[in-house]
């Protein structure tokens, strides 16, 4: 692996690599699949690729690293973030962790296709871990090749940045590059593999620690190392909690409960479904991590999951996400129990998750509906009735809530059986609207408008509040799929167009309204546009 010191702003990247300096490494240097015990990581080098080419980069993430557009379009940038080059100070490694997958303990998992290049400290003193996904095998790759394809890499790149601009806690994405090599993938695990363009995405976060990093140590009864890792986590990422003690551990766990609840509430607010909420995909910082078979609700179906693997059980459906968040936190509580040796305070923290989520849900839905604040006496019934009605006929969630802000109260309900024209845009099959449905929706709207009158707020203020909580643009799967098809043909322009669009998801953006349209009928069951697999 070539190590170079570039003569431009990449030279300013400095690395302190606190994780590898403070925690024990796998003593075996060779890169072969194995069980790694009494270690938090293995040092491993990215695999060089044949002909890397930059597809796209995020200028906002580049700025976090003090990099300029000139830096990001240089040959060195492409070589570095495809895995062909290392900078001075980088110390690449893959982390060891386990996880519960679909409710069952899976043992050691680890960074099977992710390699952390190092921990960079920017000029403001912020820590950013640079991680390549798809940069080759590691000791944790099991039977896989450690590589990634352009399809999944573009999806991760775009969604990471889309979520950030939606105001949702997330890992970020600096760049996506092609490798000039083909990778064989069976997209739906149905015995039809094909060769696809290989790619590498550079992910960026303050930390990539997951619930599974702690679970694996307790499962192996490596309690001394568990304490070392938790202490490191608190000192590095939660320094505001102060000196380490049992009380600090409990404060830390409560904060993880709070940030996890906040993250999932944001998912629910915009209709995002993660698709694979295994404990190894849960960030200790409450960040959305590992974008695989995700999707946004189009038709408002609360039991919808984008993951083909989850199609039967629907464990990770939209409506189950809050419950799975709590289930995963219980697994984390079990893993840190040896540090506390008391169940009651952990249960209290878990109860805090439940109460925090319920209060957050009420406040979030009140904001989506434009209320000044949540009023228990009226709003709980209003919200529950709306959730029920939206599931009766296929209704686009994003369009319905966005357009609700422009409905002029009672004026559009004067004619019996009619619904506001702006809301009609949200229905996929308006011909299925029965008289009973129209009456029920009209009844809800009348109750809703009466509730708005109680607030006596300025209509413009209400609309602004609603539009700042209900995005106009989200990364619909069919939009990502169209961008991927063009990129696979050598044209990354639509990836760049989508990235620009998704920078301002709450703004109207004249001339781009077609990106806010309902999913076209051709995309309803098309591979990559509806449900996806973990290979996606």
The residues assigned a catalytic role are 280
- Mapping DSSP onto H, E and C, the string for 374-442 reads CCHHHHHHHHHHHHHHHCCCCEEHHHHHHHHCCCCHHHHHCCCCCCCHHHHCCECCHHHCCHHHHHHHH
255 contact partners, CB below 8 Å, separation of at least 6 = 238, 241
Of the candidates 142, 137, 129, 143, the one whose C-alpha atom is nearest the C-alpha of residue 172 is 129
Helix (H) or strand (E) holding 352: helix 344-368
d(CA 517, CA 446): 27
Of the candidates 300, 448, 247, 307, the one whose C-alpha atom is nearest the C-alpha of residue 366 is 448
Of the candidates 162, 217, 169, the one whose C-alpha atom is nearest the C-alpha of residue 37 is 217
d(CA 55, CA 202): 12
Return the SS3 of 522: helix
d(CA 285, CA 292): 19
CA dihedral (198, 204, 207, 209) in degrees, to 10, reads -20
458 contact partners, CB below 8 Å, separation of at least 6 = none
């Amino acid at each position: 692996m070539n190590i170079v010191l570039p003569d431009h702003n990449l030279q300013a990247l400095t690395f302190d690599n606190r994780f590898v300096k403070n925690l024990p490494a796998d003593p075996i240097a060779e890169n072969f699949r194995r069980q790694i015990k009494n270690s938090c990581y293995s040092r491993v080098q990215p695999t060089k690729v044949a002909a890397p080419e930059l597809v796209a980069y995020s200028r906002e993430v580049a700025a976090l690293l003090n990099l300029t557009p000139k830096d990001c379009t240089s040959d060195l940038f492409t070589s570095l973030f495809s895995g062909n080059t290392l900078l001075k100070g980088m110390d690449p490694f893959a982390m060891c962790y386990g996880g519960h997958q679909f409710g069952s303990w899976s043992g050691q998992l680890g960074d099977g296709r992710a390699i952390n290049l190092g921990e960079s400290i920017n000029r403001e003193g912020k820590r950013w871990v640079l991680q390549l996904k798809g940069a080759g095998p590691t000791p944790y790759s099991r039977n896989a090749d450690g590589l990634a394809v352009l399809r999944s890499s573009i999806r991760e790149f775009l969604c990471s940045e889309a979520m950030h601009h939606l105001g949702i806690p997330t890992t970020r994405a600096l760049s996506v590059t092609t490798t000039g090599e083909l990778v064989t993938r069976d997209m739906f695990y149905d015995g039809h593999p094909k060769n696809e363009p290989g790619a590498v995405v550079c992910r960026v976060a303050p930390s990539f620690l997951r619930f599974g990093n702690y679970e694996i140590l307790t499962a192996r009864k490596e309690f001394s190392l568990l304490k070392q890792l938790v202490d490191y986590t608190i000192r590095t990422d939660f320094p505001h909690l102060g000196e380490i003690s049992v009380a600090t551990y409990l404060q830390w766990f409560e904060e993880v409960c709070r940030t996890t609840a906040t993250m999932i509430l944001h998912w629910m607010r915009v209709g995002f479904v993660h698709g694979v909420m295994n404990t190894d995909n849960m960030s200790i910082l409450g960040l959305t991590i590992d974008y695989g078979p995700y999707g946004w609700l189009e038709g408002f179906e609360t039991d919808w999951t984008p993951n083909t693997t989850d199609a039967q059980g629907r464990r990770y459906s939209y409506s189950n996400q809050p419950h799975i968040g709590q289930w995963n936190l219980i697994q984390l509580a079990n893993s840190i129990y040896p540090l506390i040796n008391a169940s009651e305070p952990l249960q209290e923290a878990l109860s805090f998750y439940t109460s925090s989520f319920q209060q957050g849900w009420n406040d979030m839905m009140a904001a989506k509906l434009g209320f000044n604040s949540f009023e228990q006496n009226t709003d709980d019934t209003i919200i529950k009735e709306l959730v029920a009605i939206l599931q009766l006929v296929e209704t686009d969630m994003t369009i319905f809530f966005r357009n609700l802000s422009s409905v002029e109260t009672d004026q559009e309900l004067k004619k019996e059986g009619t619904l506001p024209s702006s809301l009609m845009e949200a229905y996929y099959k308006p011909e299925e609207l029965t008289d009973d449905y129209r009456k029920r929706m009209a009844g809800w709207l009348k109750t809703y408008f009466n509730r708005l009158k109680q607030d006596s707020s300025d209509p413009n203020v209400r609309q602004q509040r609603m539009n700042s909580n209900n995005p106009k643009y989200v990364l619909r799967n069919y939009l990502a799929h169209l961008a991927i098809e063009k990129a696979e043909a050598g044209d990354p322009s639509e990836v760049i167009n989508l990235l620009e669009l998704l920078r301002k998801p709450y703004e109207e953006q004249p001339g781009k309204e077609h990106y806010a349209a309902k999913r076209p009928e051709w995309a309803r069951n098309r591979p990559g546009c509806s449900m996806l697999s973990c290979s996606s």
